[in-house]
Each structure stands twice: as structure tokens, then as C-alpha cells.
């Protein structure tokens, strides 16, 4: 019985967490190079599907400088 109550409470916590507002997507993404010292490879719009895995959200000014 205690396990059932614990599972129900956990589901409620997860449900509430899902209702919390998520942060907005960044306006621009920088696709980073293979290592930390490499310059950015590409600049993408915030919702771009082709941004790659190595990316970082940036402001417009940083995207323009890149």
C-alpha cells in the first residue's frame, strides 16, 4: 500500500513539473567547433532544425559578431 501511495505521489510531482512554464527558446544559436578553442562554425535561427548537437543559445549581438 505504501508503495502505491509513493508512486501516486511521484506521478503528481511529475505532472506538476510538466505544467511549469519552460524557458523561451533563444533567438539565435551558435554551432560550436569540435573543441573549445575553435571558433563557431555556423549561426542558426533559434528554431532551426539543422543546428547540430554542439550549440549554444546567444543574443542577436553575439550572433552578428560571430
Instruction: Write out the chain's pLDDT in tens, 66 residues.
Output: 999 999 999 999 988 888 778 777 788 888 888 887 888 888 888 888 887 788 888 888 888 887
Q: Do the domain assignments include residue 43? A: yes
The total domain count for the chain is 1
pLDDT for res 11: 93
Q: Which domain holds residue 57?
A: 25-66
Kindly write down the DSSP assignment for every residue of the chain, as one continuous string.
Answer: -HHHHHHHHHHHHHHHHHHSPPPPPPSEEEEP-SSTTSPP-EEEETT-TT--SSEEEE-HHHHHH-
Q: Do the domain assignments include residue 13? A: no
Q: Do the domain assignments include residue 15? A: no
Q: Do the domain assignments include residue 64? A: yes
Overall pTM > 0.85: no
Amino acid at each position: 500500500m505504501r508503495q502505491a501511495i509513493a508512486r501516486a505521489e511521484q506521478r503528481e510531482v511529475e505532472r506538476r513539473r510538466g505544467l511549469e512554464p519552460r524557458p523561451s527558446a533563444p533567438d539565435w544559436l551558435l554551432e560550436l567547433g569540435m573543441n573549445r578553442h575553435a571558433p563557431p562554425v555556423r549561426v542558426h535561427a533559434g528554431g532551426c532544425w539543422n543546428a547540430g548537437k554542439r550549440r549554444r543559445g546567444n543574443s542577436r549581438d553575439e550572433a552578428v559578431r560571430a
